[in-house]
Amino acid sequence: MSLEQDIQQKTFRSEYHKALLNVIYTHNVIINDINGFFKHYDITRQQYNVLRILRGQFPEPATVQLIRDRMLDKMSDASRIVERLRVKELVDRTLSTEDKRTVRITITDKGIGLLELMETCIEDLEKGIRNLTEGEAQQLNELLDKIRNRTSGRG
């Protein structure tokens, strides 16, 4: 379906305005799909993001600050997410021996196992994007980078 049909609007101020609304609307569609996918595994998309960061660091530990810097959702409370993952036994937290103020966080075997299980179904998560050819996906990535770099003042 087109954006016009989905939101029942026939005209837009400009193609730029339509594109902005299209990005916002598409973001919401994707987030709803993602939330449903993660609900099946009893984690949130932010928790998944933290687990992926920790797996990328493994076997080295990470700090809350490192996690915060690498998260996709910069507004998330990394400390609270880590604690929820600890309660689920997906991560371990230990105090640093060098600096008692620093907490070292590592993914557990259970956390790695969950990520591996989820990856067997990751194509379900990518279903909308897989409507594109690989070349179209590359072009979309370049266009989104261009938009993001410009809006953040880096372009």
Residue-wise pLDDT tens digits, 109-119: 999 999 999 98
Domains held by the chain: number: 3
Please give the model's pTM, rounded to 2 decimal places. 0.83
Residue-wise pLDDT tens digits, 108-152: 999 999 999 998 888 777 888 888 999 999 999 999 999 989 755
φ, ψ of residue 75 to 5 degrees: the values are: -90, -5
Does residue 21 lie in a domain region? yes
**Residues 115 and 129 reside in one and the same domain:** no
**Residues 64 and 112 reside in one and the same domain:** yes
What pLDDT was estimated at residue 151?
57
Is 47 exposed, middle or buried (CB count within 10 Å of its CB: 0-12, 13-18, 19+)? buried
**Residues 55 and 79 reside in one and the same domain:** yes
Does residue 3 lie in a domain region? no
Question: Residues 25-34, buried b or exposed e (16+ Cβ, 10 A)?
Answer: eeeeeeeeee
Structure tokens at 42: 């009893």
